[in-house]
Amino acid sequence: KAGVTQTPRYLIKTRGQQVTLSCSPISGHRSVSWYQQTPGQGLQFLFEYFSETQRNKGNFPGRFSGRQFSNSRSEMNVSTLELGDSALYLCASSSAGSREETQYFGPGTRLLVL
């Protein structure tokens, strides 16, 4: 099976712009989660989608949003970008999103905000 794929791999944006990141889960997986990784804050949970519904949300401002499509692919959007949004954004997929399951991570999208 193909692994989790994320596009694009690298992005450069300026403050105030918005950005959309895409994640394609492993075939058959219905749960997709997003994480932000920064040197200062480490890895933090953004949100999880299951069957097109947001099921879990972390402590991020409303500028961070996402959605999931019927084929389980997910997008994450960040509006009004700030310098502090520069990070590696990782998505992970699992079959049903239960806590015992392994989450499989993609390679990440590295976002730089200037």
Partner 1 sequence: AQSVTQLDSHVSVSEGTPVLLRCNYSSSYSPSLFWYVQHPNKGLQLLLKYTSAATLVKGINGFEAEFKKSETSFHLTKPSAHMSDAAEYFCVVSGGTASKLTFGTGTRLQVTL
Tell me: does residue 52 bind partner 1 (CB under 8 A): no
Shortest Cβ 80–partner 1 spacing (Å)? 25
Q: Which DSSP category does 83 fall into?
A: G
DSSP H or E run through 16? none
60 touches partner 1 (CB under 8 A):
no
Residue 32 CB, shortest distance to partner 1, in Å, is 10
Q: How far apart are CA 106 and CA 76, in angstroms?
A: 14
Measure Cα distances from 57 to 11, 61, 109, 114 in Å: 24, 10, 20, 27
Among 19, 23, 35, 68, binds partner 1 (CB under 8 A): 35
**Binding mask 73-102 vs partner 1 (x if CB under 8 A, - otherwise)?**
-----------------x-x-x--xxxxxx
